[in-house]
Amino acid sequence: MKMKWKQQAATALAAVLCGAGLHLAVAVPASSSAAVSETLVAEPEGESAETTAQYTFHANVYGPGVANLSSSDSYSRYQWGLKNDAELQYSEITNRFRDSNPKLANYIDLANYFGMPAPVAGPDAYRIKETRARRGVDINILPAWNLYDSSTEEHRHVVVAVIDTGIDISHPDLKNAIWTNEDEIPGDGIDNDGNGYIDDVHGWNFFDGNNELCKGREDDHGTHAAGTIAAARGNGGIAGITDNNYVKIMVLKALGTRYGVGEEKAIIEAIRYAEANGASICNLSFGTTEYYPELEKVMRDSKMLFVVSAGNGNAKGIGEDTDQKPDYPSSFDLDNVISAANLMFDGNLAESSNYGAKSVDIAAPGTYIVSTIADSGYGFMTGTSMSAPMVTGAAAMLYSYRTDLQLSDIRKVLLETARKLPTLNGKLSSNGMLDLYAALNYGRTTETADSAQTEQTAADGQNEEDRQDTEQTAAGGQNVEDRQDAEQTAADDQDAEQDPEAGQGTASAASKTITAGGGEPVSLGW
């Protein structure tokens, strides 16, 4: 039987770290009735606007989203970015109240939408935007995993530097994915390798100037990025993109506070450290509108490949054309930089995502992404900060798998194999979204790709005839938009036959219950 995802009521109301307005994100099945609590983000303890004003760089994320998920769930099954069966519907309710009355200003009118009592408000007081997922809008990872795992050739070991907030290196999904400095003796208080950093066993904290790599929940952002890249597969948690037996995460904390902010100096020092200690690929999920020539020079002179988030638009949360209004380091015109935009699960860019025909390269899933967070937790986040690690993980897997390629080839391969979507035409240099399976097969014969696809179909226990059309088309780098409408219609018809109550808000017997950040129960069922 086809598995289903029915989210009863996941709430995620937050202030955008880059300055956009408040919004409420609700993932629900159509025509459901659900209780939704409004949760406003309070001023972070110990931090003020004056304190954070000194920092230029900001994490490109909408936060905090839904957090503290149950550790008993198999989260990888809910990650639409890895496999999208078109079962997710997303509703965004934006507060448009202009009344100065604080009670009205902090209340969402949901009377007509959820059947809840609410004060009367005019039609301009709020906006409801609904988005339905489209089958096949994912990074095509299942056949890629099969290809990688079934290979008899030795894979290349790859170190990925994550310059971000800190990372929870003891997280059960990450503890085996963390890079280790073999030349350093843990805890002896001595700079054993003579690199100027004492006890830098797994990286360094450039924000605070010490080796404390995780300070709790202020480091959710970096932990989330690391999980997307290399969280363990098959252990009951989430599934990262890469095989962490071969891909390791170097932890470089350059952002701090609960705002996820930092300075140029710390970022430059982190880049130099990463290269000096063997990192090949570097994830930068942050940005600024200010141009820093020294940062550009350091990145230009580096031999690493940088994957950078494109940014989350202006103060109103509306994405901007960075060809006209640059966002750095995404807008640096460098051959070793890939800029990633936020792709929604319907094949469109998120409203908040920056874009640019010259300055932004590729789209990857970045909305409502589940991954690891600090204190051994799991949570959802949204933003181009989530898109960049998707591309980083793909780049690391490609570089590990294709030992015949040079690091300088990876950017070209990812962009040339991007799956073309009409919705992305003229907005990105590739006009497409990340397709990992197509990237792994770059330059190879059709027969090789067909063979791997057939093996994956059998492994999944699904009907080969049903899967071939979707996955093989994507593998060939062809346009998938032409077939999406027909597939979606067929999927909807099939859903109605298999589950007459689909869309009525009733979870299946196999549903799991998780707790959202605001304390509301969320049912994830198949």
Question: What CATH number corresponds to the domain at position 300?
Answer: 3.40.50.200
Helical segments of 17-161, H only:
49-52, 102-105, 111-114, 142-150
**Is the residue at 25 inside a domain?**
no
**Is the residue at 374 inside a domain?**
yes
**Is the residue at 404 inside a domain?**
yes
pLDDT, residue 488, reads 40
Catalytic machinery residues: 164, 221, 385
* Beta bridge partner(s), residue 340: 309, 362
Question: Which string of DSSP letters, residue by residue, matches 191-220?
Answer: -TT-SS-TT-SSEEETTTTBS----SGGGH
Tell me what the pLDDT averaged over the chain comes to: 75
Task: Encode burial over 76-115: b for 16+ CB neighbours within 10 A, e otherwise.
Answer: bebbbbbbbbbbbbbbbbbbebeeeeeeeeebbbbeebbe
Instruction: Report whether pLDDT(285) > 80.
Output: yes
CB distance 79 to 370 below 8 Å? yes
CA distances from 206 to 211, 213, 248, 283, 365 (A): 8, 9, 20, 16, 29
Predicted TM-score of the model (pTM): 0.76
**Token code pair at residue 275:** 């290269």
pLDDT, residue 428, reads 98
Give 19-54 pLDDT, tens digit per residue.
222 233 334 323 222 222 222 222 334 455 555 668
Instruction: Report whether pLDDT(185) > 90.
Output: yes
**Is the residue at 262 inside a domain?**
yes
As a whole number of angstroms, the distance between CA 264 and CA 412 comes to 28
Lowest model confidence (mean pLDDT) among 2-16, 87-101, 195-209, 455-469? 2-16
pLDDT > 70 in the chain, percent: 63
Give 411-432 pLDDT, tens digit per residue.
999 999 999 999 999 999 999 9
**Token code pair at residue 70:** 């149950």
Average pLDDT over residues 71-95: 70
Backbone angles phi, psi at 87, to 5 degrees: -100, 0
Average pLDDT over residues 86-101: 60
The tally of domains found in the chain comes to 1
**Is the residue at 423 inside a domain?**
no
Instruction: Report whether pLDDT(165) > 90.
Output: yes
**Is the residue at 137 inside a domain?**
no
**Is the residue at 329 inside a domain?**
yes
Question: Which string of DSSP letters, residue by residue, matches 153-206?
Answer: SPPPPEEEEEEES---TT-TTTTTSB---TTS-TTSSS-TT-SS-TT-SSEEET
Cα-based angle 31, 29, 227 (whole degrees, multiple of 5): 160
Query: Which is more confidently placed, 419 or 4?
Result: 419
pLDDT, residue 126, reads 60
pLDDT, residue 1, reads 23
CA distances from 347 to 102, 244, 282, 431, 482 (A): 37, 29, 26, 12, 12
Lowest model confidence (mean pLDDT) among 338-342, 424-428, 521-525? 521-525
Lowest model confidence (mean pLDDT) among 208-212, 316-320, 409-413? 316-320
Lowest model confidence (mean pLDDT) among 29-38, 46-55, 169-178, 398-407? 29-38
**Is the residue at 2 inside a domain?**
no
As a whole number of angstroms, the distance between CA 229 and CA 399 comes to 13
Q: Which residues touch 466 (CB under 8 Å, ≥6 apart)? A: none
Q: What domain range includes position 219? A: 150-409
Q: Which residues touch 28 (CB under 8 Å, ≥6 apart)? A: 7, 8, 9, 10, 34, 89, 91, 505
Task: Fill in the amino acid letter for 250.
Answer: M
pLDDT, residue 384, reads 96
As a whole number of angstroms, the distance between CA 191 and CA 200 comes to 8
pLDDT, residue 50, reads 59
The radius of gyration computed from the CA coordinates of the chain, to the nearest angstrom, equals: 22
